[in-house]
């Protein structure tokens, strides 16, 4: 069975007051400047809790009932004590020859299940029923700050216990996402590390912490997507000074990540490869393949690097007979065409050409004004459920890499991480900070899901 169900776990911290409304901001760096006063509301309306999401944003989410002042303590998962020591042997140093998703159940991260449960509690009727079903669909967990890393150990311990109880080993899906000067051609996803401030060493330490958590649970398989947007930016955006300045560091950091994860023997990695509307243009295919291959070989051709992930957090169809008008001029107008065009170039260069494709928000097409519009696109819907039945030998699985309902970026033009894409006419507004819960958008994804929930 491809999906393993877990109980919804109420893991949101209990910080509540009556100042900031439900789904409003209640903390984060530069919060005073954003609200334009001496102090922003640091407590939440009754019935909601102030929940840390990232250093820039804490958000009032439904749940809880006591009044406390907010803190910046990160959510680290269920309250059970994490496993800290293990005498179990390490994972196999020989990767499975076939699809790494097969023969395993996929762990449902309690944090996302709790977000969905809190969102559904504010809905009624069939919409509520559909919303609750989303908690039973596996999504990747984004480790976009060091503060979130300890929760990985909690999830792995839970997954290990579930696997032993069921007799079927588990997969935990993660996204490694904390490069210094991250997302160099955008603003909404800027991270906690900067190259100028010890960023590379900080990133190496972040990877070491991930490795330390995973190493304790060799019986749990981890599927990792490595650094969305990073390598693709090095193909097309070196004219942006921040990207040009980050090139050497990006390559060093991604190399370190795949090398260290490869040593564990239970982590299968997919490097992020943008999407059809980015690297899928014919002129970008060879440069992209050259970059992936050179990095892979310079890292020692890590045996557990399985291939590439495409369409992460994007909206492209996997396969369509009716190209979206915005794709005009590109023969690779969907992810399948992109993969079929890129794979032979990778194969000839010696890179493993296996793919996973994010279809989490691809249920509705022809909704963007430009192919490059990526921020909270109006009218989107949940797409094809995660499955290994892709019908294409090159594609290991369709996945939901982006947890639907977590925002792409804020529409607040005065915010430190405002990106103009989030203010375009096809971007849903008003929108909170990237990574925080966007209730109205989640409801849109539920109602527009294709196939229906």
Does the annotation place 278 within a ligand binding site? yes
Alpha-carbon span 254 to 230, nearest angstrom: 9
Does the annotation place 421 within a ligand binding site? no
Alpha-carbon span 198 to 196, nearest angstrom: 6
Alpha-carbon span 266 to 214, nearest angstrom: 8
Does the annotation place 164 within a ligand binding site? no
- For residue 229, indicate whether it is catalytic: yes
Beta carbons of 2 and 387 less than 8 angstroms apart: yes
Does the annotation place 402 within a ligand binding site? yes
Beta carbons of 318 and 394 less than 8 angstroms apart: no
- b/e burial code for range 406-425 (CB count within 10 A of at least 16 → b): bbbbbbbeebbbbbebbbbe
Beta carbons of 226 and 269 less than 8 angstroms apart: yes
Does the annotation place 314 within a ligand binding site? yes
Strands 221-226 and 267-272: parallel
Does the annotation place 437 within a ligand binding site? no
- For residue 183, indicate whether it is catalytic: no
- Tell me: cis bond preceding 451? Omega within 30 of 0 counts: yes
Does the annotation place 354 within a ligand binding site? no
- How far CA 446 is from CA of 359, 374, 404, 405, 408, in Å, comes to 14, 19, 9, 9, 17
Alpha-carbon span 20 to 253, nearest angstrom: 39
Q: What stretches of 263-334 show up as alpha helix (H) in DSSP? A: 282-298
Does the annotation place 68 within a ligand binding site? no
**Tokens standing for 148?**
């979130």
Which residue out of 181, 334, 358, 408 is catalytically annotated? 408
Which residue out of 229, 334, 396, 428 is catalytically annotated? 229
C-alpha closest to that of 114 among 162, 170, 53, 73: 53
Residues of the binding site for substrate: 142, 144, 275, 278, 314, 374, 402, 406
Residues of the binding site: 142, 144, 275, 278, 314, 374, 402, 406
Could you give the residue numbers annotated as active site?
Answer: 229, 408
């Amino acid at each position: 069975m491809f999906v393993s169900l877990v109980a919804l776990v109420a893991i949101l911290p209990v910080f509540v007051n009556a100042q900031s409304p439900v789904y409003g901001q209640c903390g984060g760096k530069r919060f005073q400047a954003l609200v334009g006063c001496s102090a922003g509301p640091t407590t939440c309306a009754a019935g909601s809790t102030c929940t840390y999401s990232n250093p820039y944003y804490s958000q009032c989410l439904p749940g809880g009932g006591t009044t406390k002042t907010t803190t910046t303590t990160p959510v680290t998962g269920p309250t059970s004590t994490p496993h800290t020591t293990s005498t179990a042997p390490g994972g196999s140093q020989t990767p499975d020859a076939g699809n790494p998703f097969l023969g395993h159940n996929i762990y449902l991260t309690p944090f996302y299940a709790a977000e969905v449960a809190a969102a559904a509690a504010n809905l009624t009727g069939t919409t509520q029923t559909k919303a609750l079903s989303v908690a039973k669909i596996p999504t990747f967990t984004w480790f976009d700050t060091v503060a979130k890393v300890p929760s990985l150990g909690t999830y792995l311990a839970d997954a290990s216990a579930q696997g032993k109880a069921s007799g079927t080993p588990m997969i935990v899906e993660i996204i490694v996402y904390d490069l210094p000067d991250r997302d160099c051609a955008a603003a909404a996803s800027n991270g906690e590390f900067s190259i100028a401030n010890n960023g590379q060493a900080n990133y190496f330490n972040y990877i070491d912490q991930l490795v330390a958590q995973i190493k304790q649970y060799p019986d749990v398989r981890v599927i990792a997507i490595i650094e969305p947007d990073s390598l693709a930016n090095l193909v097309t955006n070196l004219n942006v000074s921040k990207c040009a300045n980050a090139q050497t560091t990006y390559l060093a950091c991604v190399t370190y990540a795949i090398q260290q994860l490869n040593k564990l023997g239970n982590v299968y990695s997919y490097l992020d490869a943008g999407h059809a509307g980015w690297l899928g243009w014919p002129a970008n295919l060879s440069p992209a393949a050259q970059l992936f291959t050179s990095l892979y070989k310079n890292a020692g051709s890590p045996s557990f690097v399985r291939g590439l992930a495409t369409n992460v957090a994007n909206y492209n169809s996997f396969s369509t007979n009716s190209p979206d008008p915005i794709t005009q001029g590109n023969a690779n107008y969907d992810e399948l065409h992109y993969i079929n065009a890129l794979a032979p170039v990778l194969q000839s260069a010696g890179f493993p050409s296996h793919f996973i494709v994010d279809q989490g928000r691809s249920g509705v097409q022809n909704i963007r004004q430009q192919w490059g519009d990526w921020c909270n696109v109006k009218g989107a819907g949940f797409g094809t459920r995660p499955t290994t039945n892709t019908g294409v030998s090159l594609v290991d699985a369709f996945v939901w890499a982006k947890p639907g309902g977590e925002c792409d970026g804020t529409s607040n033009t005065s915010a430190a991480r405002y990106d103009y894409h989030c203010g375009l006419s096809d971007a849903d507004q008003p929108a909170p900070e990237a990574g925080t819960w966007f209730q109205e958008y989640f409801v849109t994804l539920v109602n527009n899901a294709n196939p229906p929930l």
